Structure 1
Amino acid sequence: MPERQHVDQARAGLHVGLAMHSVLPRGGVIHTLELATALAQQGVAVTVFAPVEPGQILFRPLPDGLALRLQALPMPRPNGTLLADQVGERIAALRAALPAAAARAGVDVLHVQDSLNGAALAQRPPAMPWLRTVHHLDDFTDARLDAWQAMAWQRARAVCCVSDTWFDQLRARPEAPPVHRVFNGVDLQRFRPRPVAEDAAALSALTAAGLDDAPMLLALGGVEARKNSARLLRAFARLRREVPQAARARLLVAGGASLLQHGAEQQRWQAALADCGLDEGAGRPVWRTGPLPDAAIAALMRRARLLAMPSLYEGFGLVALEALACGTPVLVSRRAPFTEHLTGSPGVSWCEPEDEASVALGLARAWTQPRLPQPPAVCHTHSWARSARAHLQVYRQCLASTLSSLASQDPAPCLP
């Protein structure tokens, strides 16, 4: 049986496969790369699998000197015009590529971070046990998207969650496989309060395009409904009107590389711009930069007056911890998962995310907060080393469960 071979190999030296849905700077991709690095630093061999479209490269090079490598899965660009058609094309391509690539690499356990890879493995199970991290689940109106999302975690041998909220929600579902609580982490070498010499170079392209010394509110992830983007924009306009010291403030929205379509929120965003009389573009009061080089994100966090994250829901909200590690005050929603780990932390202001006035008041409060001289305790508690140890425990349990399951299927030995 193929799974027994991988379990036996894992006893000598674990080889973990981590699969992510892109090579672009999205939260799940960053989580995968940070986890992969932390596992490799603890002596685990790691192969990262990622779909790569023509012309794409991994946004961040992997560190040298570790048993860590990237296995690119060449992918055509989706041709469909509807989101579900594009997702279906990508799942089909991953179904053809990922199980075979994992088998060739000889990984002992395969851990996927997203619904695309999860749905591919649900339809074509690999030779080794596989598990899934669920950062959060979306509400889809398209039945195909909903079905793919469901099978992408329900058919895994085990599921990991990075927050108590989603751990409790999934564990309560009768169709759930074993659910484990793991952790996110903060890279305190990359995210630290004092500016570093490389910051000016990292921001040089933005500076040439119009980034100046005007006070800046930073939001990451692009314009999406779950990010509460349009309501944040309206609250920002109120901040500029009602707080004299913020009259010159600029809202910079970085990131936004996503396969999902966010047309409805984009329309709400445009309506808010018109209603509030705000200009958008490089050097204007509102600036959407799109995806940025990795080094620019930490530099922007150190440069920003505050980071705004009044999300309607998140898997964890790691960006808020990274901003705090840079000494930057943050505004977050007074709801889980933020309340799980940020309650009582210095530098944190709160809002009711569906109340525009509350978001505006939260921005004003965060605006008055001093910068933190050092990362708060919550950033030290959430380390990637701790995350790697938690994941290793899950992998070992998953492999032991697989071995036990295979042993129970073996026929009784024949007696002479």
Structure 2
Amino acid sequence: MEAQQQAAFQQWPATRGARYGDAMRIALLAPGVQPDGAAAHTFGLARALAARGHAVTVVAPAQAGERPFRDPGCAVALLPMPPATGCRVEQVARRIAALEQALPAVLTAGRFDLLHAQDGLNGNALATLRNHLPQLPPWVRTVHRLDALRQPLLERWQARGWLSADAVACLSEASCRQLRQHHGAQARRLHAGVDLSPFQPVARTDDAAHLRALGLPDDGAPLVLALGGLQPHRNAARLLAAFASWRAARPHWAHARLVLAGDDDCSEAGAAQRAWRDALRRLGWQEGPGEPVWRCGSVPDTALPALLRRARLLALPSLAQGSGQAALEALACGTPVLLSRRAPFSELMDQAGGVSWCDPGDEDSIALGLQRAAMQPRHQRPPKVCVEHGWEHGAAAHEAWYAQVLAHRQVRRRAA
């Protein structure tokens, strides 16, 4: 582990005195290395901050053999995590304890100016380490979303994961209001970003090879793409029922295929998996590359733009959503999207072209939204909302936030 950390630190560029002003040594603490919204947000932010001249490292828990799904363009320190066994409370407790044990060596060696946690597990570990590491630098937290949790202990961990941070950011005004109204906490809105280099409407020469590698049949069938697998907030079973209803009622779309991409291996996915199997059984459908519905698992990051360009639409009828980054990436590829009329979607894209809306709790509304999205024309260039939410703008906003937190720390030290 020590050798791995040293190798990672040696990748940092010599950026003191960079052209964007005083460079900072920043640790971005990711929830993991597999593709999900918070990890994609972390890696995109890391790359953009590094491009602005900061010395950035991504610190992420990983199972044996795991590697980051996306190149963050900076150093990466991987922290060993225990296997995901037992109930959800047991899993969370073990992961927090593992982070508390592994983080001190990385943080001490890194000599960071600031730490930025992107999830509650890292936030809980930092809350504990603040009492044991006198030289712990200031740390901030981005709250991607707040879940309604049934176990009181999970609720306490969720709150503790941001309560002791020096500053808090959210990805939507709705989340900022939730923190203010229910917890009396102030948070800054810092939006998600999209990298407009790979996510473009124009097909690349290697798109076909990426799609073949995924096992997607080259039969020209209209493709409805959903991301996030069977994670409960993705609303997959309701989407499946709505897709079947829409497909049966519209002869032109009778050969359409629903493809779910993403990792289903999360501790709370059991009920969602059962609901998915029940919906398949009621429809009499099988899963597979040539079937009406297929779960293709995690998609390599290099293949995601090709899959988005291949899709006729991206369906995200989510019950809850953190960033909206996937919707921005789809729109940047020219692909229409179906979204829940909920934050952050409703804040980010209320006036954006290529967007259709639905009530995620209503199958009929989702089916109608699928029809509307399928009839939308494809964009020939990334729309304005994607340009305005490019990572260059997002990194600049984060940079200003970090500088404010560090300046406030200095004022407090002088006053002490």
TM surpasses 0.5: yes
> Is the counterpart of residue 129 in structure 1 residue 138 in structure 2?
yes
8 A contact 1:183–1:386 mirrored in 2: no
Deviation at 1:173, TM superposition (A): 4.2
Letter in 1 for 2:376: Q
> Is the counterpart of residue 187 in structure 1 residue 195 in structure 2?
yes
Alignment-derived partner of residue 394 in structure 2:
387
Deviation at 1:322, TM superposition (A): 0.9
- Aligned-residue RMSD, C-alpha: 1.8
Deviation at 1:407, TM superposition (A): 2.2
Q: Please list the CA deviations of residues 1-34 of structure 1 after superposition, one character each: whole Å capped at 9, or x if unmatched.
A: xxxxxxxx99953111101021111111111111
Q: Compared with structure 1, are the counterparts of its residues 259 and 274 closer, same or farther at alpha carbon in structure 2 (3 Å cutoff)?
A: closer
Deviation at 1:381, TM superposition (A): 0.7
Q: 1:245 aligns with which of 217, 242, 252?
A: 252
- Which range moves more in the overlay, 98-107 or 167-176? 167-176
Alignment-derived partner of residue 57 in structure 2:
47
Alignment-derived partner of residue 60 in structure 1:
70
Q: 1:218 aligns with which of 198, 211, 225?
A: 225
Give me the whole-angstrom Cα distance separating, in 1, the residues matched to 2:267 and 2:218: 29
> Is the counterpart of residue 96 in structure 1 residue 105 in structure 2?
no
Give me the whole-angstrom Cα distance separating, in 2, the residues matched to 1:174 and 1:330: 33
SS in structure 2 at match of 1:96: helix
TM-score (norm: length of structure 2): 0.91
> Is the counterpart of residue 119 in structure 1 residue 124 in structure 2?
yes
Letter in 2 for 1:405: R
Q: 1:298 aligns with which of 299, 302, 305?
A: 305
Alignment-derived partner of residue 4 in structure 1:
none
Q: 2:26 aligns with which of 16, 36, 50?
A: 16
Give me the whole-angstrom Cα distance separating, in 2, the residues matched to 1:180 and 1:370: 35
Instruction: Spell out the pairing of 1:14-413 with structure 2 (5 A cutoff).
Output: 14-63=24-73, 68-78=74-84, 80-125=85-130, 127-176=136-185, 178-207=186-215, 210=217, 212-256=219-263, 258-409=265-416
Letter in 2 for 1:103: T
Q: Compared with structure 1, are the counterparts of its residues 232 and 398 closer, same or farther at alpha carbon in structure 2 (3 Å cutoff)?
A: same
Q: Please list the CA deviations of residues 96-124 of structure 1 after superposition, one character each: whole Å capped at 9, or x if unmatched.
A: 11133112111100001001111111122
Q: State, as a whole percentage, how many aligned pairs show the same letter.
A: 48
Letter in 2 for 1:48: V
Deviation at 1:175, TM superposition (A): 4.7
Q: Please list the CA deviations of residues 118-174 of structure 1 after superposition, one character each: whole Å capped at 9, or x if unmatched.
A: 111112225111110001011111222111111001111111111111122213344
Number of residues of Structure 1 aligned to a counterpart in Structure 2: 394
Q: Compared with structure 1, are the counterparts of its residues 211 and 145 closer, same or farther at alpha carbon in structure 2 (3 Å cutoff)?
A: farther
SS in structure 1 at match of 2:342: coil
8 A contact 1:199–1:295 mirrored in 2: no
Displacement over 4 Å in runs of 4+: 9-12
SS in structure 2 at match of 1:117: helix
TM-score (norm: length of structure 1): 0.91
Q: Please list the CA deviations of residues 350-383 of structure 1 after superposition, one character each: whole Å capped at 9, or x if unmatched.
A: 1111111111011011111111111111011101
SS in structure 2 at match of 1:153: helix
Give me the whole-angstrom Cα distance separating, in 2, the residues matched to 1:387 and 1:225: 28
8 A contact 1:332–1:348 mirrored in 2: yes
Q: Compared with structure 1, are the counterparts of its residues 353 and 246 closer, same or farther at alpha carbon in structure 2 (3 Å cutoff)?
A: same
Deviation at 1:257, TM superposition (A): 5.1
Letter in 1 for 2:148: D
Deviation at 1:211, TM superposition (A): 5.4
Unaligned runs of 5+ in 1: 1-8, 410-416
Give me the whole-angstrom Cα distance separating, in 1, the residues matched to 2:415 and 2:265: 43
Give me the whole-angstrom Cα distance separating, in 2, the residues matched to 1:352 and 1:77: 37
Q: Please list the CA deviations of residues 31-57 of structure 1 after superposition, one character each: whole Å capped at 9, or x if unmatched.
A: 111101111111111011111221111
